Structure 1
Amino acid sequence: MRSEGVFLERRGALAVLVLRRPGRLNACNREMFIQLEAAAGELAEEPLPRAVIVTGEGSDAFCSGFDVNPDNPMVAQMAQALEKGDPRPIEDAIAAIRRAVDRLAALPAPIIAAINGKAFGGGAELAVRCDLRVMDPAAVICFSEVRLGLMPDWGGGATLTHLIGSAAAADLILTARKVGAHEALQLGLVNRVSAPGKAVEEAVQLAEAIMANGPRAVKSALKVIRAGRNLTLEATLDLERTTAVDLIASGECLHGIGAFLNGKEPDFPDLPVKPD
C-alpha cells in the first residue's frame, strides 16, 4: 500500500505536489498540513521551480478539505476546546492550516491547481489560493463548510471574492452548492477544462508554456498580479512601473530580445534564490 501524505516530485524546473490520502478523498489531517508547509519551504530554496502543480492522488478527489474525523487529533483538540469554552486550540488549528496554505500560495512561482476530482470545503479553498486552475470535466467544486456549521478558513473565502466577485462568491459559499467544470469556467473560477482524465496533463502543458518564458519576467508579473488583489489601481500601477524597471535592469531581456533578433528560442538563466 502506498504511503499517505503530501509528496513533492521534481520534473526539472517543474514541481508537482500530490495530496495522497485516496481512502479519505485526499482530506488533510495534521501531518499533511505539516508536510505541506515543509514542502513549500523546500520549494522556496534552491533550485527554485519555475512553476508548481498541486493535485490529488487518483481520479476521485483533488482534496476534500479538512479531515472531519474523530481520529484526527486536530478534531479532538477542537472538540475539547468547545467543551471548555477555550478558543485558543481553535485559533492554533486554524493558524497551522493557514501557515501551510499561505506559504504555498506565497511561493515566487505560478501555482497551478490540477482539479482532477472532488474539491470540497478546504479543497475548494486550496484550489482558489492557487494562481491558475485546470479542471477535469467530471470534477466538482463545492465550498461546503456551511453545511457543517463552519465557514471558509483556509483563506479561500476572501480569495474567491476577489476572484469572481462578492455576489457570485456569496452564492457559492452561502448555498454550499456543487459547481461543475463548465459552470466553473463561465464564472471565471477555473481557467481551463481539460479532456476527461487529463487535468494533470493539461496543467503540465500550461506550466510548460509559462516556463518557456523569462523566469524573472514571470516572477515579476506574478508579483504585480498578486499584489493587485489588495491594492488600489493607482498603487498597482506604481508597483508595475517600479517592478518593470527592476526587471529590465536585471538584464533578462537581453536573452529574450537577442534570441528574437536572431530567430532563435531564448535560453533564460534560472532564478537565484535571493533577489537580484
Structure 2
Amino acid sequence: MRREFVQLEIEKGVAYVTLTRPDKYNAINYQMFKEIDSVISELKKDRAVKLVILSGAEGNFSSGLDVKSVMNSPLQAVGLLFKWLPGNANLAQRVSCGWRALPIPVIAVIEGCCFGGGMQIALGADIRLVSPEAKLSIMEAKWGLVPDMAGLISLRELVGKDRAMLLTMTAKVLSAQESLEVGLVTEVAQSPMARAKELAEEISCTSPDANAAIKMSINKSWTASVRQLLSRESISQIRLLMGKNRVIAAKRNSQDAKGVEPKSEYRVRQSGW
C-alpha cells in the first residue's frame, strides 16, 4: 500500500520506521493505524531484517490518537475496534502488540511528546530509549477513555499493579527521568537515535535466530507456568542447534576470542521464528 504517514527504510539489515505527521505532532489518524499495521506485516515476512528502530519525525514520537479525525467518521471508529473474536487483536491493538510479535528486536526512540496512543505504540517495543527532554503519559483517562491498544501487555511486565493503576488513572505526564525511575523506559540518552544505532550494531553481531528465540522465550514465558517455560527453552535450543546461524555464531566468537576480525556473516533468519 502507498504510505503517507509512516516511512520505512531498510539499511544494512536495520529497518527504520518513522511516524511522519509532524504538523500534528505525529498524532495517529486512521490512515496511520493502517500504515503501521502494514509495515509490521511487511517486516514480519522479511527475514533479512535483523532489527527495527521506531521513531517519530521532527522531534516528537507521537501526541497520541487524533480523536477528532477518528470520531468524525463512524466507519473509521468501527474499523479500529472491530474484531472477529474478543480475544483477537483489532487494528488499534495490532499497532502495539504487533511489534511484540515480530521475531526481531524493536527499539523505540522517544523524543518530545509520547502521549496516549503514542505511549501504547512505544510500549510494544522491546527497548525504549528517551531523550532527556521527552514527556510521556498514559493519557487516555484524561479524555474519559480506557487504554485499549494492548499496551497493558507490556505495562504489566514493567511496573507493579499499583503503579500501573496510578499512571493510568491520573494520566500524569512524566519526565524522562521519572519514566526511567518507574520502569517505563530502558535508558535516557542525550541522543537516543545515536544510542539506538549503537545498540543495533551490537545486536546485529549476534545470531538473528538466537535473538528471535530469546525474544519469543522471554515474552511468552514471562507470565507462563514453569513447565511451559522449560518446554519452550528446550524446543528453542534444539532448533538453534540444528540451524546454520548457530555454527556461524560459534565461529565468530572463536575468531573474536583470538583477536581476529570476524569474517563470518549470518544468514537470514530461519523461517518459523
Q: Report the TM range for the smaller structure's normalisation.
A: 0.7 to 0.9
1:14-25 maps to which residues of 2 (within 5 A)? 14-25=14-25
Residue 73 of structure 2 corresponds to which residue in structure 1? 77
Letter of the structure 2 residue corresponding to residue 247 of structure 1: L
Give secondary structure in 2 for the equivalent of 1:257. Answer: helix
Distance 1:29 1:103, change over 3 A: same
Matched, 1:111 2:111: no
The alpha-carbon deviation at position 21 of structure 1 amounts to 0.9
Give secondary structure in 2 for the equivalent of 1:109. Answer: coil
Q: Using the alignment, how far apart are the partners of 1:166 and 1:266 within structure 2?
A: 47
Residues 16-60 of structure 1: CA distance to partner in whole angstroms, max 9, x if unpaired?
10001111110111111111111112212235311001100011x
Give secondary structure in 2 for the equivalent of 1:44. Answer: helix
The alpha-carbon deviation at position 191 of structure 1 amounts to 1.1
1:138 aligns with one of 116, 133, 137: 133
Letter of the structure 2 residue corresponding to residue 76 of structure 1: N
Matched, 1:269 2:260: no
Contact 2:95–2:149 (CA under 8 A) maintained in structure 1: no
Letter of the structure 2 residue corresponding to residue 75 of structure 1: M
Matched, 1:186 2:155: no
Q: Using the alignment, how far apart are the partners of 1:190 and 1:100 within structure 2?
A: 18
Residue 27 of structure 1 corresponds to which residue in structure 2? 27
Q: Using the alignment, how far apart are the partners of 2:24 and 2:235 within structure 1?
A: 46
- How many residue pairs get aligned? The number is 262
Letter of the structure 2 residue corresponding to residue 157 of structure 1: L
Q: Give the share of equivalent positions with the same residue, in percent.
A: 28
Residues 62-90 of structure 1: CA distance to partner in whole angstroms, max 9, x if unpaired?
01121112xx2x31234998xxxxxx667
Contact 1:144–1:177 (CA under 8 A) maintained in structure 2: yes
Residue 68 of structure 1 corresponds to which residue in structure 2? 67
Residue 8 of structure 1 corresponds to which residue in structure 2? 8
Give secondary structure in 2 for the equivalent of 1:112. Answer: strand
Residue 102 of structure 1 corresponds to which residue in structure 2? 97
Matched, 1:175 2:170: yes
Matched, 1:92 2:89: no
Between 254-263 and 137-146, the greater mean CA deviation after superposition? 254-263
Between 92-101 and 155-164, the greater mean CA deviation after superposition? 92-101
Aligned-residue CA RMSD (Å): 2.4
Letter of the structure 1 residue corresponding to residue 65 of structure 2: F
Residue 236 of structure 2 corresponds to which residue in structure 1? 243
Residues 88-118 of structure 1: CA distance to partner in whole angstroms, max 9, x if unpaired?
6673298222234333331110011000111
Residue 252 of structure 1 corresponds to which residue in structure 2? 245
1:202 aligns with one of 195, 201, 205: 195
The alpha-carbon deviation at position 273 of structure 1 amounts to 6.1
Matched, 1:49 2:45: no
Contact 2:10–2:16 (CA under 8 A) maintained in structure 1: yes
Distance 1:177 1:11, change over 3 A: same
Residue 36 of structure 1 corresponds to which residue in structure 2? 36
Residue 145 of structure 2 corresponds to which residue in structure 1? 150
Distance 1:51 1:79, change over 3 A: closer
Give secondary structure in 1 for the equivalent of 2:90. Answer: helix
The alpha-carbon deviation at position 269 of structure 1 amounts to 2.2
Gap regions ≥5 residues in structure 1: 82-87
Residue 204 of structure 2 corresponds to which residue in structure 1? 211
TM-score by length of 1: 0.87
Residues 166-214 of structure 1: CA distance to partner in whole angstroms, max 9, x if unpaired?
111111111111111112222221111111xx12111111122111111
Letter of the structure 2 residue corresponding to residue 92 of structure 1: F
The alpha-carbon deviation at position 233 of structure 1 amounts to 3.2
The alpha-carbon deviation at position 4 of structure 1 amounts to 4.8
Give secondary structure in 1 for the equivalent of 2:148. Answer: coil
Residues 128-148 of structure 1: CA distance to partner in whole angstroms, max 9, x if unpaired?
111111000100110010010
